[in-house]
Every structure is written in C-alpha cells, then in structure tokens.
C-alpha cells in the first residue's frame, strides 16, 4: 500500500461547527504532516508528528488541533474557524531517519470551505 488516504474530500462548515479531517497511511512511515494550501499558492507547513509526537507546530492558531492516535492515523480537529481558513488541507507522510531524505507521500487533500 503506497497511498495516503484523506477524508472527507470536501467539507463545508459554519464558523461555530466542530469537524475533523482524517488521514491514514499503511506504509510504515513514522513522520506525518499537515499542510495548508490556498489557491495558486504553495503548501504551507502546519504540523509535523514524528513517532506519534508533535515535533513541529508552525505557530498555527489553536482553532486547529492536531492529533496522532497511532502510527497510521493523523487527525486535524477544527473548531471556530474563520472564512479565511478555507483552503485545501494536505496530509503527507514520510520515513524518518538520516536527515538526507524525508521524501513526502501526499494524500489528495481535503477541500475545506468555511461559511
């Protein structure tokens, strides 16, 4: 299995809703990532988990809450979002090890619209 699966593909939510984005991989990768991408812009790193521990938080607002329940799953919990948070949210995974690698395998993304 060489895929990263993201659900849902599309999500529309109001500013008072609570929702979650889910990501799953079965490649044995021990690093998992959340990126946010606005239209015609590059992906921006949000969070990195390494061996199920949060290793990088790029000063993301607390209305985004990541969770890594086990080595195969990564969640992004969303609460009280703003319309400007509408974007494509990309999950990725990679092997860990010597810092010369870190090739990321991406999921297809979850397109979030906040009304």
Partner 1 sequence: SQQGEEDPQALSIQEGENATMNCSYKTSINNLQWYRQNSGRGLVHLILIRSNEREKHSGRLRVTLDTSKKSSSLLITASRAADTASYFCATLTGGGNKLTFGTGTQLKVEL
Query: Which residues of this protein are in contact with partner 1, per CB under 8 A?
Result: 4, 31, 33, 41-45, 48, 50, 55-56, 88, 90, 92, 94, 96, 99-109, 111
Q: In the bound complex, what is the minimum distance in angstroms from residue 84's beta carbon to partner 1?
A: 18
Nearer to partner 1, 21 or 90 (CB): 90
Q: In the bound complex, what is the minimum distance in angstroms from residue 56's beta carbon to partner 1?
A: 6
Exposed (0-12), middle (13-18) or buried (19+): which is 66, by Cβ within 10 Å?
buried
Nearest Cα residue to 73 out of 110, 2, 22: 22
- Residue 57: CA atoms inside 13 Å, Cβ hemisphere, count? 11
Q: In the bound complex, what is the minimum distance in angstroms from residue 80's beta carbon to partner 1?
A: 25
């Amino acid at each position: 299995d060489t895929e990263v699966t993201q659900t849902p593909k599309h999500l529309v939510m109001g500013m008072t809703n609570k929702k979650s984005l889910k990501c799953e991989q079965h490649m044995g990768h021990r690093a998992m990532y959340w990126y946010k991408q606005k239209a015609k812009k590059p992906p921006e790193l949000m969070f990195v988990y390494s061996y199920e521990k949060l290793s990088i938080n790029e000063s993301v607002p607390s209305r985004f809450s990541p969770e890594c329940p086990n080595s195969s799953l990564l969640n992004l919990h969303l609460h009280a979002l703003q319309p400007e948070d509408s974007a494509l949210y990309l999950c990725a995974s990679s092997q860990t090890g010597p810092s010369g690698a870190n090739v990321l395998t991406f999921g297809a993304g979850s397109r979030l619209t906040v009304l």
